[in-house]
A and B are shown apart, each in its own frame.
Chain A
């Protein structure tokens, strides 16, 4: 399969991730959408790496992205739990203390 097929998959995954973040009224979905977007980015990294001489750089970046994703997930989950504790809700729109 050519590079374009992978990029197309990555693009569609990215689009679905954005919809997941924006359309659902739940912080967990926001988290999951972010994971999708990161995965889409990873597919691109690895695919371009593969089709551009297989010089390891893309793969290394993918690994760093995975590491950051893991850290982000842990912190985000802590935030979600704290938000729920404070606002009795995990709707992103309800955490609006900083508004105005």
Chain B
């Protein structure tokens, strides 16, 4: 049954993508097309990730999500953040996840389609319901004319080091990174006792 649903799923994804692109083009022109493309990339990647049976495919599909989010950052004028997103997520975290995939056993039987589809229906339904409620009642104070987005990278560096700004969270983040990395190394390290080859005992 799984294999039969594979094609309809991807077909549905293609239709949704086309719909998104069309809706973007009709509402905001070229920028709308770009928005539809990145949205399709983000949501499609994550949907494939949930859907796919193989962890490797899921991990690679996640690359689409991260790239899409980076594109959305570009659209929002956050160039530096988009680059950092690509560098850290696609280059770092995704590689890390792939290592995890490689170091753990494959288990192709663990996916229950009913659970995935049920969960998706439930969650998307909930989101749709909340969205419909919110969209009708809440108004966000948004500027009518958006200012030119700042593209200077040095503003971020100044923000980090400004005593009025984010110097304390910055230092804390540095600390957390250091500790977390040391802790990660410590946790993942194999103990000396584990390094003995069990076959050596058998031979003896």
* Among B58, B76, B149, B173: residue with most chain A CB under 10 A: B76
Closest chain B CB from A67 CB (angstroms): 5
Give bound CA distance, A62 to B79, whole Å.
13
Give bound CA distance, A11 to B59, whole Å.
21
Q: B159 — which chain A residues lie within 8 A by C-beta?
A: 56, 60
Contact status B123-A66, CB under 8 Å: no
Give bound CA distance, A67 to B176, whole Å.
9
Contact status A70-B177, CB under 8 Å: yes
Q: A53 — which chain B residues lie within 8 A by C-beta?
A: 143, 147
Using a CB–CB cutoff of 8 Å, the interface residues on chain B facing chain A are 24, 27-28, 31-32, 35, 39, 42-43, 46-47, 49-50, 55, 58-59, 62, 65-66, 69, 72-73, 75-78, 80-81, 84-85, 88-89, 92-93, 96-97, 99-101, 103-105, 107, 110-112, 115-116, 118-120, 123-124, 126-127, 130-131, 135, 140-143, 146-147, 149-150, 155-156, 159-160, 165-166, 169, 173, 176-177, 180-181, 183-188, 190, 194
Q: Is A95 an interface residue (CB 8 A)?
A: no
Give bound CA distance, A81 to B146, whole Å.
47
Q: A75 — which chain B residues lie within 8 A by C-beta?
A: 180, 183-184, 187
Q: A19 — which chain B residues lie within 8 A by C-beta?
A: 50, 116, 119-120, 123
Contact status B69-A42, CB under 8 Å: yes
* Among B69, B116, B118, B169: residue with most chain A CB under 10 A: B69
Contact status B47-A74, CB under 8 Å: no
Give bound CA distance, A22 to B42, whole Å.
20
Contact status A39-B32, CB under 8 Å: no
Closest residue of chain A to B99, judged by CB? A77
Give bound CA distance, A16 to B165, whole Å.
34
Contact status A1-B35, CB under 8 Å: yes
Contact status A54-B147, CB under 8 Å: yes
Give bound CA distance, A59 to B126, whole Å.
28
- 13 residue pairs of the A-B complex, CB under 8 angstroms, read A5-B35, A9-B39, A15-B124, A15-B127, A16-B120, A19-B123, A23-B119, A25-B107, A35-B62, A60-B160, A63-B84, A67-B176, A90-B104
